[in-house]
């Protein structure tokens, strides 16, 4: 009985308008996962989102997502942190809610852990991006600045002038095509031009792997960043641009 009441309350909360004091008509409604598995950089991400007046942001717990909290939003943002914890916290029901949301036309943007979560490589992942993770054994390969090689399409989509910008990396996935016939192939918008190979990680593996991937799933769009644009001075705008692309705006 108590659980039923809780679910009803969560459903009621999920129908509340996406408003804030400086509400802008036609603003993009962004749902942000805010539960176990989010990383220490989460407050930085919220600051970047708050700086864009065209975004209406709502933080959702896994239970709210399972209860239908994505209804009415344009795009879901899964932050950095721990992909496995995020996926397991969502649970099979929550992951299916996300898959259905994207398949029906919603957008998905994953940063670092959110990119791991989008792949089709783990039992806890969403399987909405046709990508596998290279060198899983050395996922904790270190962190720091690393150079990217952006494609022309990547620079246009994300609003970046430099062909080889330097971005902050924190043990994000090294992505490659998974060749899953049930998921459309993704487009690589950027590859790693440099590398970080610490803690026993072999050198020569990271360069050339996908750093930013754009794909589709059903009627929706999926965009994944292995590195952290929100933590990189001058590249924070990639987050807003990515959200708008994923939401088909």
Predicted model pTM: 0.91
CB-based contacts of 69, cutoff 8 Å, min separation 6? 10, 13, 14, 31, 60
According to the model, what pLDDT value does residue 9 have? 40
Q: Which ranges of 51-170 would DSSP assign to H, the alpha helix? A: 62-66, 83-103, 113-118, 152-158
Residue 71 exposure: Cα atoms within 13 Å on the Cβ side: 12
- Other Cβ atoms less than 10 A from the Cβ of 168: the count is 19
Distance (Å) of CA 209 to CA 20, 143, 149, 150, 203: 40, 16, 10, 12, 13
- pLDDT (tens digit per residue) in 79-116: 999 999 999 999 999 999 999 999 999 999 999 999 99
What is the rounded average pLDDT of the residues 160-171?
97
Rg for the chain (alpha carbons), in Å? Answer: 17
Confidence class of residue 66 from pLDDT cuts 50, 70 and 90?
A: very high
Confidence class of residue 24 from pLDDT cuts 50, 70 and 90?
A: low
Q: DSSP letter at 17?
A: -
According to the model, what pLDDT value does residue 23 have? 56
Helix or strand run (H / E) with residue 108: strand 107-111
Distance (Å) of CA 111 to CA 119, 130, 168: 12, 16, 12
- pLDDT (tens digit per residue) in 121-165: 999 999 999 999 999 999 999 999 999 999 999 999 999 999 999
Q: Which CATH number does the domain 23-246 belong to among 3.65.10.10, 3.40.50.970, 1.10.150.20, 3.40.50.880?
A: 3.40.50.880
């Amino acid at each position: 009985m108590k659980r039923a009441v809780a679910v009803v309350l969560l459903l009621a909360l999920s129908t509340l308008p996406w408003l804030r004091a400086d509400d802008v008509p036609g603003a993009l409604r962004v749902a942000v996962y805010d539960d176990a598995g989010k990383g220490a950089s989460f407050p930085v991400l919220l600051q970047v989102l708050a700086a864009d007046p065209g975004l209406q942001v709502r933080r959702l717990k896994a239970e709210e997502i399972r209860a239908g909290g994505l209804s009415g939003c344009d795009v879901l943002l899964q932050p950095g942190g721990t992909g496995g914890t995020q996926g397991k916290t969502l649970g099979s029901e929550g992951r299916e809610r996300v898959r259905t949301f994207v398949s029906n036309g919603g957008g998905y943007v994953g940063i670092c852990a959110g990119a791991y979560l989008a792949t089709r490589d783990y039992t806890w992942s969403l399987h909405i991006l046709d990508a596998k993770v290279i060198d899983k054994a050395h996922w904790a390969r270190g962190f720091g600045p690393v150079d990217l090689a952006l494609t022309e399409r990547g620079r246009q989509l994300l609003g970046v002038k430099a062909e080889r910008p330097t971005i902050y990396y924190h043990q994000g996935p090294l992505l490659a095509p998974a060749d899953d016939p049930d998921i459309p192939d993704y487009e690589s918008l950027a590859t790693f031009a440099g590398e970080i190979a610490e803690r026993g990680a072999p050198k020569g593996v990271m360069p050339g792997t996908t750093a930013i991937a754009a794909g589709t799933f059903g009627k929706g769009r999926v965009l994944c960043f292995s590195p952290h644009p929100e933590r990189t001075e001058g590249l924070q705008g990639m987050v807003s641009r990515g959200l708008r692309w994923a939401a088909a705006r």
